[in-house]
Chain A
């Protein structure tokens, strides 16, 4: 197991270097003059030249890459023209909000997706199964940003059940940072009204974000349940007179959960990408909104910073799924 974990970790380091090579390529080779880009739109010739020397842009490409890596490692991720702050500080401020949204959203997807997958499998080819299938195929076809807008229109503006967007009300004091996750911090400090308010704000964006993941979870869980429900030991359990609920919920679901776990992990990673759209719709102060605002104004270093952070966590998720899989199924360990 240790060998397996180490091998995976080494692989992950190489993947990370690959990701940095991509961001390096995009930021150093794609634009006509990266120094001018880094110096910002208002820079004069002198400032551009200073940047060129500071970032080592006058040296050969591989040396530039090393300089680039060193810069990232020392926490110098550049400066955002848009917020006029250091990118690293911005990322630290915005990323926890994204994590909170994605975590909450995947919890919704699991809480709804797993039971629906089980129901669809138990009632295979009956009306309930067809209805669930319609939900999953339409769920992945609807653009997430449009779904978010329509949810805003109906639930926030028409029914007024939820706020239109944002993290908390403007006038509310956020709780002191402990975990940086606002809802957790509010709970830890006993600020229940702030917690409820934050919960109120997170529901619509989280639901809009969860649809593609929800559809995948239902699909995979249904297929796995169908397979396990036909196994001999299930037939045996049935013959022994165990209740249907016990058979389905305990014996079959336990074995169907491993592949479902894998898809949950994968989808969690994909949500990190989808969050860009949802954050834009709901003005969620996360890293996705930050990246988009930077991209629109061609503000370079924040985009690269956000790409690296999101890519890193995407890789981390995949790494963790691999490890969990290795723990649960020893055969996987031998395949590396």
Chain B
């Protein structure tokens, strides 16, 4: 009995040996990434952001302040030991609202980037793989969308649908997808002529199989890099719409919307608009640095 087990394990190589190549690759990635100081800083900021978003409601001192509680006796207090970031015009703790804003911001960024990817990646893949007139149509539409400043188009869409967080997210997604089409189309075009794809086709692999098994996995790294960069940009975009009064509406704890109200309380109650802005800046910075670092490891051309 013991004999047969030993012979079984001897016949099957262990996990480390079966995946030696992958492990070596992963090690190289981790080492390159860890040596890059700014990328590590970005990773740290993003991890902190994610953790805050996850446990926010349990660590904030005044959880009820996120949903429009009113304590007029404590309004517009400067930062002190109880209210680290001060309080706003109805006495809500700004620290609480900034911390809880992480979750809102994360949701917005994920939804906008996710929807943009869901629209853009398949379209880019179809354009690159099918080619011909289909490609022509898809790429021309993409070009038109790319030829208008995104924020303006988003404002136009929100203007049509009416202000609000859902419409703002929809508008941002609708102006965000063209970048993915361009990226994936170019990548698919170049992959289509790779010898291994040709070989798969000549062995009778179906088109669907080629797309999902041979092309899509090779598009993932540029998509991941772009998505990481776009998270930061989407956060800026959503905050901008919130600031203009077209996105999230107060008392929803969204950073841009907070600043939109807070600006009327400048300069005397500066902390009210200062801290949400710092939160946006640090978060966006984190995602940008992370994206830069990921590009360095996933796209060897950019390695210095």
Partners in one complex: yes
CB of A314 within 8 Å of the partner chain: yes
Count class of interface residues, chain A: 35 or more
Given contacts A145-B240, A273-B149, contact A18 B141 (CB under 8 A): yes
Q: Which residue of B155, B162, B232 is within 8 Å of A276 (Cβ)? A: B155
CB of B120 within 8 Å of the partner chain: no
Interface residues in B, total, Cβ within 8 A? 47
Interface residues of B in 243-299 (CB under 8 A from A): 243-246, 256, 259, 263, 266-267, 270, 273-274, 276-277, 280-282, 284-285, 288-289
Docked Cα-Cα span, A157 to B240, in Å, equals 23
CB of A311 within 8 Å of the partner chain: yes
Docked Cα-Cα span, A140 to B283, in Å, equals 12
CB of B160 within 8 Å of the partner chain: yes
Within the complex, what minimum Cβ distance (angstroms) separates B210 from chain A?
29
CB of A249 within 8 Å of the partner chain: no
Are B140 and A298 closer than 8 Å at their CB atoms?
A: no
Interface residues of B in 192-250 (CB under 8 A from A): 232, 236, 239-240, 243-246
CB of B38 within 8 Å of the partner chain: yes
Do most interface residues of chain A lie in helix, strand or loop, or is the interface mixed? Answer: helix
Do most interface residues of chain B lie in helix, strand or loop, or is the interface mixed? Answer: helix
Given contacts A15-B143, A15-B147, contact A141 B152 (CB under 8 A): no
Are B148 and A300 closer than 8 Å at their CB atoms?
A: no
Chain B, 144-155, contact with A by CB distance < 8 Å: what is the 0/1 string? Answer: 110111111101
CB of B94 within 8 Å of the partner chain: no
CB of B59 within 8 Å of the partner chain: no
Across the interface, which residues of B come within 8 angstroms of A141, CB to CB? 232, 281-282, 284-285, 288
Chain A, 12-25, contact with B by CB distance < 8 Å: what is the 0/1 string? Answer: 00110011011100
Are B243 and A145 closer than 8 Å at their CB atoms?
A: yes
Q: Which residue of B145, B148, B280 is within 8 Å of A310 (Cβ)? A: B148
CB of B189 within 8 Å of the partner chain: no
Are B285 and A276 closer than 8 Å at their CB atoms?
A: no
CB of B157 within 8 Å of the partner chain: yes
Cross-chain pair count, CB within 8 angstroms: 149
Across the interface, which residues of B come within 8 angstroms of A294, CB to CB? 159
Interface residues of A in 16-56 (CB under 8 A from B): 18-19, 21-23, 26-27, 30-31
Given contacts A152-B266, A295-B158, contact A307 B240 (CB under 8 A): no
Within the complex, what minimum Cβ distance (angstroms) separates A313 from chain B?
9
Are A311 and B159 closer than 8 Å at their CB atoms?
A: no
Docked Cα-Cα span, A303 to B232, in Å, equals 26
Docked Cα-Cα span, A150 to B276, in Å, equals 12
Within the complex, what minimum Cβ distance (angstroms) separates A253 from chain B?
22
Within the complex, what minimum Cβ distance (angstroms) separates B10 from chain A?
52
Are A158 and B285 closer than 8 Å at their CB atoms?
A: no
Q: Which residue of A26, A140, A269, A281 is within 8 Å of B149 (Cβ)? A: A269
Across the interface, which residues of B come within 8 angstroms of A27, CB to CB? 160
Are B274 and A30 closer than 8 Å at their CB atoms?
A: no
Are A22 and B288 closer than 8 Å at their CB atoms?
A: no
Docked Cα-Cα span, A311 to B259, in Å, equals 28
Are A143 and B244 closer than 8 Å at their CB atoms?
A: no
CB of B69 within 8 Å of the partner chain: no
Docked Cα-Cα span, A152 to B161, in Å, equals 32
Q: Which of A14, A300, A310 has the most CB of B within 10 A?
A: A310
CB of A137 within 8 Å of the partner chain: yes
Are B152 and A291 closer than 8 Å at their CB atoms?
A: yes
Across the interface, which residues of A come within 8 angstroms of B38, CB to CB? 137
Are B156 and A303 closer than 8 Å at their CB atoms?
A: yes
Docked Cα-Cα span, A27 to B153, in Å, equals 12
Across the interface, which residues of A come within 8 angstroms of B239, CB to CB? 143
Interface residues of B in 118-177 (CB under 8 A from A): 140-141, 143-145, 147-153, 155-163
Docked Cα-Cα span, A14 to B137, in Å, equals 12
Across the interface, which residues of B come within 8 angstroms of A145, CB to CB? 240, 243, 256, 259
Q: Which of B38, B159, B160, B270 has the most CB of A within 10 A?
A: B159
Are A273 and B246 closer than 8 Å at their CB atoms?
A: no
Within the complex, what minimum Cβ distance (angstroms) separates A307 from chain B?
4
Docked Cα-Cα span, A318 to B146, in Å, equals 11
Are B281 and A143 closer than 8 Å at their CB atoms?
A: yes
Docked Cα-Cα span, A304 to B140, in Å, equals 21
CB of A255 within 8 Å of the partner chain: no
CB of A161 within 8 Å of the partner chain: no
Docked Cα-Cα span, A21 to B143, in Å, equals 13
Are B267 and A153 closer than 8 Å at their CB atoms?
A: yes
Q: Which residue of B243, B256, B277, B289 is within 8 Å of A150 (Cβ)? A: B277
Residue of A nearest to B276 (CB): A146
Q: Which residue of A142, A277, A306 is within 8 Å of B281 (Cβ)? A: A142
Are B244 and A276 closer than 8 Å at their CB atoms?
A: yes
Q: Which residue of B159, B266, B276 is within 8 Å of A295 (Cβ)? A: B159
Across the interface, which residues of A come within 8 angstroms of B285, CB to CB? 137-138, 141
Within the complex, what minimum Cβ distance (angstroms) separates A266 from chain B?
11
Q: Which of B152, B153, B276 has the most CB of A within 10 A?
A: B152
Chain A residues at the B interface, C-beta cutoff of 8 Å: 14-15, 18-19, 21-23, 26-27, 30-31, 137-138, 140-146, 149-150, 152-153, 157-158, 269-270, 272-274, 276-277, 280-281, 291-292, 294-296, 298, 300, 303-304, 306-307, 310-311, 314-315, 318
Q: Name 30 A/B residue pairs within 8 A (Cβ), A-sorted.
A: A19-B148, A22-B144, A30-B157, A137-B288, A137-B289, A140-B284, A140-B288, A141-B282, A142-B281, A142-B284, A143-B239, A143-B240, A143-B256, A144-B240, A145-B240, A145-B243, A146-B280, A149-B263, A150-B277, A152-B266, A153-B270, A269-B149, A294-B159, A295-B156, A295-B246, A296-B163, A298-B159, A306-B152, A311-B147, A314-B148
